[in-house]
Amino acid sequence: MSYIIPDEAALKARSQRFVWRIFIMRQLGTSLCFVAIASVMWDMHYHLFYFALLAVNAFVWPTVACLFSMQAYDPVKAENNCLIIDSALGGVWIAIMGISPVPSLLIFSVLVADRYAAGGWKLLRWALIVLFLAFFVTWSLLGYHIHLEFSQRTVWLSLPLATIYMVSLSVVSRHLSVRLSKRNREFERIAMMDPRLHIPNRRLFEQRLASTFVQTQREQSSAYLMLLDVDHFKQINDNYGHEIGDYILLEISNILRQTLQTSDTPARFGGDELAIISINYREDDVLELAQQILEKITALRLTNHDLCRVSISIGIASVKDAYSTADWLRKADQALYKVKNSGRNGIFLYQKPQNEQQTIKKSFMK
């Protein structure tokens, strides 16, 4: 049994990018908090020791937290722990300021927004618990002091925290949202492509088939559906191996991508069955296209397997002869089976019968 081994280097690099992003936001936040908190402590006549502690928290702690997380075995988990420590420190400084309204509310809001953006409710829950615990312990040690007065200077020095940091957080969140959206679109594209043949799989084919049907009904335009089936594919697999069978399908896929227009949709319908949705073709043009595909596939030769010959049966149906996508697919399938019952290696175009009996308008047999 094979197992998927994660790319440890890629995971480490992604985790370190997360840590670096948090470091930038932490350094910005602590620097902006420094001036607001220092203004309140200046008004409260705190000792210089508290200013020194504030400076360490603002300008030393972000680097220490970044280095600690970068060196950790699990950088993301370590950084989340540092974010919880940030919350505890925020609670301490709110208590030291005596719950001064303007900076305290701003710091609390920033911590809540930042924790939730970084880790969702799981991280925010622990951050709030630690914040309130640190606040009440510090507040009790300081004698439950309340300082509701604030100077005009404090208000002005708190404004950058309310504007610059919040705008920066929005920019970072937007950047992550765009990257996530691109990644999701890429995953969606991969999920709708056949990994071996590099063409759309059945899921995308059915979506394109439905949208094409609706578009042609609305615009009264033309479209054709081709179903292609490799003749005697099981015998090829049995006689030459599945690797040769896969190689043949890949070569046919390459032929389709080289022959079709950009508006056409080739797809792997299932197993050895392929499909093509061709838009804005005339009847003669789509028959000529099918003939080109048939001739190119018939000309395929396999190295070291000279006796192996590849042929294909193609059934075609026009959207104008169908009343639904299922009916369109069914009519193309009927044309395909008409080819198989007539000896394979050919092309049939289904035409809506004038009576209840089905008729075949054109047949090209080799």
255 and 356, same domain (yes or no) = yes
pLDDT at 359 over 60: no
46 and 99, same domain (yes or no) = yes
pLDDT of residue 354: 58
Token code pair at residue 9: 């280097």
pLDDT confidence bin for 165, thresholds 50/70/90 = confident
Single out the residue in 165, 190, 215 at which a domain terminates: 190
135 and 239, same domain (yes or no) = no
Report the relative pairing of strands 346-351 and 265-270 from DSSP bridges: unpaired
- The reported pTM is 0.56
Residue 128 lies in a domain: yes
Greater model confidence, 152 or 179: 152
225 and 295, same domain (yes or no) = yes
Looking at residues 329-346, what average pLDDT do you find?
Answer: 91
Single out the residue in 190, 219, 248 at which a domain terminates: 190
Residue 196 lies in a domain: no
Residue 105 lies in a domain: yes
Provide, rounded to the nearest whole percent, the portion of the chain with pLDDT above 90: 49
pLDDT at 195 over 90: no
Question: How is 200-265 classified by DSSP, letter by letter?
Answer: B-HHHHHHHHHHHHHHHHHHT--EEEEEEEETTHHHHHHHH-HHHHHHHHHHHHHHHHHHS-TT-E
Greater model confidence, 223 or 118: 223
Token code pair at residue 336: 């395909």
Number of domains in the chain: 2
332 and 214, same domain (yes or no) = yes
134 and 243, same domain (yes or no) = no
Residue from 122, 88, 321, 127 nearest 216 by CA: 321
DSSP structure class, residue 305: B
User: Chain-wide mean pLDDT for the chain?
Assistant: 86
pLDDT of residue 169: 81
pLDDT of residue 361: 40
Q: Give the integer Cα–Cα distance in Å for 14 and 10.
A: 6
Single out the residue in 190, 216, 248 at which a domain terminates: 190
159 and 212, same domain (yes or no) = no
184 and 206, same domain (yes or no) = no
300 and 185, same domain (yes or no) = no
Crossing angle for the helix pair 101-141 and 166-191, to the nearest 10 degrees:
100
* Top mean-pLDDT range of 7-21, 126-140, 243-257: 126-140
CATH number at residue 313: 3.30.70.270
Residue from 338, 206, 310, 354 nearest 267 by CA: 206
255 and 183, same domain (yes or no) = no
How does pLDDT run across 273-284, given as a tens digit for each residue?
A: 899 999 999 999
pLDDT at 234 over 50: yes
Residue 195 lies in a domain: no
258 and 305, same domain (yes or no) = yes
How does pLDDT run across 29-81, given as a tens digit for each residue?
A: 999 999 999 999 999 999 999 999 999 999 999 999 999 988 888 888 898 89
pLDDT at 330 over 50: yes
pLDDT confidence bin for 3, thresholds 50/70/90 = very low
The amino acid occupying position 352 is K
pLDDT confidence bin for 6, thresholds 50/70/90 = very low
Residues 247, 302: contact at Cβ < 8 Å? yes
pLDDT confidence bin for 364, thresholds 50/70/90 = very low
Greater model confidence, 185 or 262: 262
pLDDT of residue 4: 39
Residues 87, 94: contact at Cβ < 8 Å? no
Domain that residue 302 falls in: 202-365
Token code pair at residue 228: 């292609």
Looking at residues 169-185, what average pLDDT do you find?
Answer: 75
- The residue written with tokens 């081709």 in the block is 226
Give the rounded distance of the alpha carbon of 358 from its chain centre: 46
pLDDT of residue 357: 38
126 and 210, same domain (yes or no) = no
